[in-house]
Amino acid sequence: MTEDKQKLMKTAFRLLSRRPHSRKELINKLTIRGYSFHDAAAMAKECERLGYINDELFAEDYLKELAQRGQGEMMIKMKMLKKGLPMELIEDKLSELNTMSLEIERAKTVLAAKMTALNRETDTRKRRDKAYRFLASRGFNSEAIRGAMEGFNENN
């Protein structure tokens, strides 16, 4: 093994020891550090062979993490695409996680946590608008927002 390949391997292992990465994310980080795309892709393939990278497991874990943080389906999809995961894998994992009732429940939970801040607003219409914008900014679709807002008590 050449010295350059050893250096590349050490860099890849150091990156992967900090946190899990997707295949594309590892390739991008290695190319940013000055390695050729060909060498970075070969190293990512080797890391996959050794079991250090698994896009499917990474997608499952990242999806659960984002859902637990109160992110909506659209935000989750955007963040997973940003990590370089293929759209088919994202759609597959989202369909496993997400039924509409689950999305609504997550939106209700996030809204309940935000109620203390929202209750500072005295105008009920403004409070309702702020709640809607807050859920939309978290990536919830309009159906989930409407479902969460059904139980929204104007007099909280």
* DSSP-based three-state secondary structure for 52: coil
Q: Are 93 and 104 within one domain?
A: no
In a domain, 40, yes or no: yes
Last residue of a domain, one of 14, 29, 50: 50
Q: For the whole model, what pTM was predicted? A: 0.77
In a domain, 155, yes or no: no
Long-range contacts of residues 135-138, Cβ cutoff 8 Å, at least 24 apart = 135/72, 135/107, 135/110, 135/111, 138/70, 138/71, 138/72, 138/75, 138/107, 138/110
Burial of 131 (0-12, 13-18, 19+ CB in 10 A): buried
| Cα–Cα distance for residue pair 53/137, rounded to 1 Å | 31
For residue 145 the two structure tokens come to 């927002």
Task: Work out the end-to-end distance of the chain between its first and last CA atoms, rounded to an integer number of angstroms.
Answer: 67
| Cα–Cα distance for residue pair 49/42, rounded to 1 Å | 11
- The structural domain count of the chain equals 3
Indicate the residue type of 107: A
**Would you write out the chain's pLDDT as a tens digit for each of its 156 residues?**
688 889 999 999 999 999 999 999 999 999 999 999 999 999 999 999 999 999 999 999 999 899 888 888 899 999 999 999 999 999 998 888 765 558 888 899 899 999 889 889 889 899 999 999 999 999 998 988 998 888 776 544
pLDDT at residue 49, as a whole number: 93
In a domain, 16, yes or no: yes
In a domain, 125, yes or no: yes
Domain containing 137 equals 100-150
In a domain, 156, yes or no: no
